[in-house]
Amino acid sequence: GENVEQHPSTLSVQEGDSAVIKCTYSDSASNYFPWYKQELGKRPQLIIDIRSNVGEKKDQRIAVTLNKTAKHFSLHITETQPEDSAVYFCAARLGDSSYKLIFGSGTRLLVRP
């Protein structure tokens, strides 16, 4: 069935270090992979996304990589700052006509000053 697995569930890094969050998906026809950031008590907000015809995308300190063969994608945050502390969600859009967006279970990132 439709499933997106996300690891780790919690991640603690020192300010300035890099953070990597990984997701795997089950539907090989999935074609769109966004990442959302949710600060405490706030709404999820899109931070970066990638389509299935692209292997990597970068936006300043944030990058996403996609391996379609292995059906996994990752979020990389470099030079982490305390304001990066939040819950991060990966998601995959199904490739069938439903275009349903399935979210991973979230990663709580803590950046220690």
Partner 1 sequence: DTAVSQTPKYLVTQMGNDKSIKCEQNLGHDTMYWYKQDSKKFLKIMFSYNNKELIINETVPNRFSPKSPDKAHLNLHINSLELGDSAVYFCASSQGIGEKLFFGSGTQLSVL
At 70, the amino acid letter reads: A
The answer to the question of residue 103 lying near partner 1 (CB under 8 A) is: yes
Q: Using the rule CB under 8 A, which residue among 32, 52, 63, 68 binds partner 1?
A: 32
The answer to the question of residue 10 lying near partner 1 (CB under 8 A) is: no
Which helix H or strand E contains 10, and what residues bound it? Answer: strand 10-14
Give the C-alpha separation, 49 to 101, whole Å.
Answer: 12
The answer to the question of residue 34 lying near partner 1 (CB under 8 A) is: yes
The answer to the question of residue 98 lying near partner 1 (CB under 8 A) is: yes
The answer to the question of residue 53 lying near partner 1 (CB under 8 A) is: no
Residue 74 structure tokens: 């990752």
Residue whose CB is less far from partner 1, 52 or 78: 52
Task: Supply angle C-alpha 107, 93, 47, rounded to 5.
Answer: 50
Q: Using the rule CB under 8 A, which residue among 12, 15, 17, 46 binds partner 1?
A: 46
Helix (H, G, I), strand (E, B) or coil at 11: strand
Helix (H, G, I), strand (E, B) or coil at 82: helix
User: Which residues are at the interface with partner 1 (CB under 8 A)?
Assistant: 32, 34, 38, 42-46, 49, 87, 89, 93-94, 98-103, 105-106
